[in-house]
Amino acid sequence: MLQILFSLENASVIETVVIPNARGRTTVCVSSQVGCAMNCQFCFTGRMGLRKHLSTAEIVEQAVFARKLFSDEFGSITNVVFMGMGEPLHNVDNVIKASAIMVDEQGLQFSPRKVTVSTSGLVPQIKRFLHESKCDLAVSLNATTDEVRNWIMPINRKYNLNLLLGTLREELRLRRKSIVLFEYVMLAEVNDSMDDAKRLTELVHGISCKINLISFNPHSGSQFKPTPDEKIIEFRNILIQSGLTVMVRLSRGDDQMAACGQLGEPGDYQLPLLRVPDKFQVAL
């Protein structure tokens, strides 16, 4: 895993991560904003608040530069994921334009199935993205109840699980052959119980999807602890038994603060941590 720092005209810095794979796939993880306004409680980038939306060119250049710099070393860049700094659909105009350039025959010529845009759950922008873009969608879910998601992902207070999943269920019926990737960061004693696994199978019922279970990557100031690997496997097995397609992403890059949820530098100003619900005080 390799980390690239880009310095922008206003002296802001964004981070891009290149992720080689032993099976010959090399992914570039691009940023869409400097910082992020969503304030997800487990995310280091979210501590920054929003500093700047990246332009279409600033987003595309990350993939162009990664291709030029690392293709000789790792082979062709095969995949692009909008999972770096920022909430991509909060910068929806530039992200849709950037992803279109990436898949255009006169652009970067990636397959639309190889470009994935992630979101924390901005429902109106999800509808727009699914109508206007050919690329894949990933949704950072991370909880099976509104109580937990309201706490760890404040966007849920505006677009709750029922609205988010109902929208996906309806929109994907109109977009045949498309599936959504649900990302689920495993937080010890918060969202990793076997009851959570059973609820998750019920929540995504009727949605064409894959589930990506992600080991939490600790960082300074974090309240959370990673779920043990053996419990992640147990959680995975319940999902598989219900017929779901499940991938497990154990930690990569956390030794250099390049892993999922670790990008950025909050600095002196940081968004506030939210009150921990009483039932989770002991767990943290």
Q: 252 near 19, Cβ under 8 Å? A: yes
Catalytic residue, candidates 29, 40, 209, 260 = 260
Is 260 labeled as catalytic in the residue annotation?
yes
Catalytic residue, candidates 15, 58, 87, 183 = 15
Residues labelled as active-site residues:
15, 260
